[in-house]
């Protein structure tokens, strides 16, 4: 009974911690989702504006868990939603969403943007300034990374690290956590993929420390050991041979100097030979240690305690160009509590991932079977067009021409039996 009470208390504490999270924006794309979103007219006059399908996708773990999916291929996609303006000063900022590339994406993004200030949502485009751009980008074999681009004083700064994204056709959750101490974490599927500091991993501010230009003093002795000056090479050291005649060798009894030449014993290593002369090493009394380049305070560095702070955030947007469409976005969240974000990921992606994987594998099996069926049908059609009769006609015509040739030469040599060999040779 006491254990049950303890577990219940822990549950209440956990629930209280999660329920204390402040949620600034959350979107599950339930029915009526379009009332909160504005589709941009960007590229519409040129006929290059893509559409957004409200769907759970071709394979899924729950048919009712729908998101929005890019469609059709080779289009620009831009859509945004507005939420109550807020500042991340002195608070944790968590940005999270899921994306599934059903199209087996070859070149295209799956990232999102969070924007500050006024936005004309009908004109939202690739040129619209943003505060944060985050998420996967894939193009060929070279680009398979997670973007984390942040705005500071109207300049955009990309993450200097190369953080790898997922490249399969299943749903994955991407989370960007920014702390008030300017540290950050990037999570994929609720697991940390990278972390660090705004000071080190973005080239926003000059470095705190720089290498000193001071050169090593000429009298700096960094030799830890030196040759012993008192250890002199013996006068006859170089005259000691490396090999000597084997003192135990004897001339064989059957050795014939007339046939075999003058006998000489074989050579063996000289035990007195110690190799090339090397003086002994002793500790260097003048040793000052290994010279190290000195790090000094950077005079150009000026700290900004608000380095992690963005202008008041107010919009969430998705803006992409995709060669092959089919990326499905869902379960968007902006809040101030990483624990709440993890719980949301578990309740959405976590409970459906195994069922989605099974559905994908079944879909792949059907696709491969259909490809095999089509290939077999194509082979059957080729065989039908060739046809056995057409093949026989071609062979009959060839045999007929051969028979005519044989008859021709048979008549030619018929009157001369002696020329029968010539007949066969000419054939």
Task: Using the predicted structure, report yes or no on whether residue 238 has a pLDDT greater than 90.
Answer: no
Facing residues of 315 across strands?
82, 115
**Cβ–Cβ contacts within 10 Å for residue 341, how many?**
26
- In the prediction, which pLDDT does 414 show? 54
Q: What is the pLDDT of residues 334-355, one digit of tens each?
A: 999 999 999 999 999 999 999 9
Q: Residue 286: inside a domain, yes or no?
A: no
Over residues 193-219, the mean pLDDT reads: 92
Please give the Cα distance from 221 to 201 (Å, whole number): 37
Task: Using the predicted structure, report yes or no on whether residue 244 has a pLDDT greater than 70.
Answer: yes
- In the prediction, which pLDDT does 312 show? 97
Q: Residue 237: inside a domain, yes or no?
A: no
The pair of structure tokens assigned to 209 is: 């420390």
- Residue numbers of the domain that contains 95: 16-199+308-351
Please give the Cα distance from 78 to 368 (Å, whole number): 34
Mean pLDDT of the chain: 87
- In the prediction, which pLDDT does 7 show? 41
Classify residue 164 by its DSSP letter: B
Over residues 73-96, the mean pLDDT reads: 97
- In the prediction, which pLDDT does 338 show? 98
Q: Provide the 3-class DSSP secondary structure of residue 243.
A: strand
Q: Residue 290: inside a domain, yes or no?
A: no
The pair of structure tokens assigned to 361 is: 């594998």
Q: Residue 235: inside a domain, yes or no?
A: no
Q: Provide the 3-class DSSP secondary structure of residue 276.
A: coil
What percent of the chain shows pLDDT beyond 90?
A: 59
Task: Specify the CATH number for the domain of residue 49.
Answer: 2.60.120.200
Q: Residue 292: inside a domain, yes or no?
A: no
Q: Residue 248: inside a domain, yes or no?
A: no
Non-local (6+) Cβ contacts of 105 within 8 A are 138, 167, 322, 324, 326, 327
Q: What is the pLDDT of residues 294-310, one digit of tens each?
A: 889 999 999 999 999 99
Task: Using the predicted structure, report yes or no on whether residue 171 has a pLDDT greater than 90.
Answer: yes
- In the prediction, which pLDDT does 405 show? 67
Contact (Cβ atoms closer than 8 angstroms) between residue 306 and residue 312: no
Q: Residue 407: inside a domain, yes or no?
A: no
Number of domains in the chain: 1
- In the prediction, which pLDDT does 409 show? 55
Question: pLDDT category, 420, cuts 50, 70, 90?
Answer: very low
Q: Residue 312: inside a domain, yes or no?
A: yes
* Mean pLDDT lowest among 143-147, 363-367, 412-416: 412-416
Q: What is the pLDDT of residues 107-129, one digit of tens each?
A: 889 999 999 999 999 999 999 99
What percent of the chain shows pLDDT beyond 70?
A: 86
């Amino acid at each position: 009974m006491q254990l049950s009470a303890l577990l219940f208390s822990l549950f209440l504490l956990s629930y209280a911690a999660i329920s204390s999270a402040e949620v600034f924006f959350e979107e599950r794309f339930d029915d009526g989702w379009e009332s909160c979103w504005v589709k941009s007219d960007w590229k519409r006059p040129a006929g290059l504006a893509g559409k957004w399908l409200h769907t759970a996708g071709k394979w899924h773990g729950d048919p009712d868990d729908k998101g929005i999916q890019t469609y059709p291929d080779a289009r620009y996609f831009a859509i945004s939603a507005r939420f109550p303006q807020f500042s991340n000063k002195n608070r944790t900022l968590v940005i999270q969403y899921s994306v599934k590339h059903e199209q087996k994406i070859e070149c295209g993004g799956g990232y999102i943007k969070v924007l500050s200030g006024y936005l004309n949502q009908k004109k939202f485009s690739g040129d619209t300034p943003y505060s944060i751009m985050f998420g996967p980008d894939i193009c060929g074999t070279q680009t398979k990374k997670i973007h984390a681009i942040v705005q500071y004083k109207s300049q955009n700064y990309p993450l200097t690290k190369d953080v790898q994204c997922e490249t399969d056709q299943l749903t994955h959750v991407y989370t960007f956590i920014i702390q008030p101490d300017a540290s950050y974490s990037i999570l994929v599927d609720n697991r940390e993929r990278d972390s660090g500091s705004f000071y080190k991993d973005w080239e926003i501010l000059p470095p705190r420390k720089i290498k000193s230009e001071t050169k090593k003093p000429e009298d700096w002795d960094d030799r830890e050991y030196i040759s012993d000056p008192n250890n002199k090479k013996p006068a006859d050291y170089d005259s000691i041979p490396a090999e000597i005649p084997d003192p135990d060798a004897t001339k064989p009894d059957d050795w014939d100097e007339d046939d075999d030449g003058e006998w000489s014993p074989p050579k063996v290593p000289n035990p007195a030979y110690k190799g090339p002369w090397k003086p002994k090493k002793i500790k260097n009394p003048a040793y000052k240690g290994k010279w190290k380049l000195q790090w000094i305070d950077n005079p150009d560095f000026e700290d900004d305690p608000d380095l992690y702070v963005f202008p008041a955030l107010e919009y969430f947007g998705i803006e992409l160009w995709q060669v092959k469409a089919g990326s499905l976005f869902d379960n968007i969240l902006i809040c101030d509590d990483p624990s709440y974000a993890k719980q949301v990921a578990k309740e959405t992606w976590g409970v459906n991932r195994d069922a989605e994987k099974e559905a994908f594998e079944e879909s792949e099996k059907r696709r491969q079977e259909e490809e095999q069926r089509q290939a077999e049908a194509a082979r059957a059609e080729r065989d039908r067009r060739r046809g056995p009769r057409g093949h026989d006609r071609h062979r009959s015509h060839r045999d007929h021409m051969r028979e005519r040739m044989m008859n021709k030469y048979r008549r030619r040599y018929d009157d001369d039996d002696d020329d029968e060999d010539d007949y066969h040779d000419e054939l």
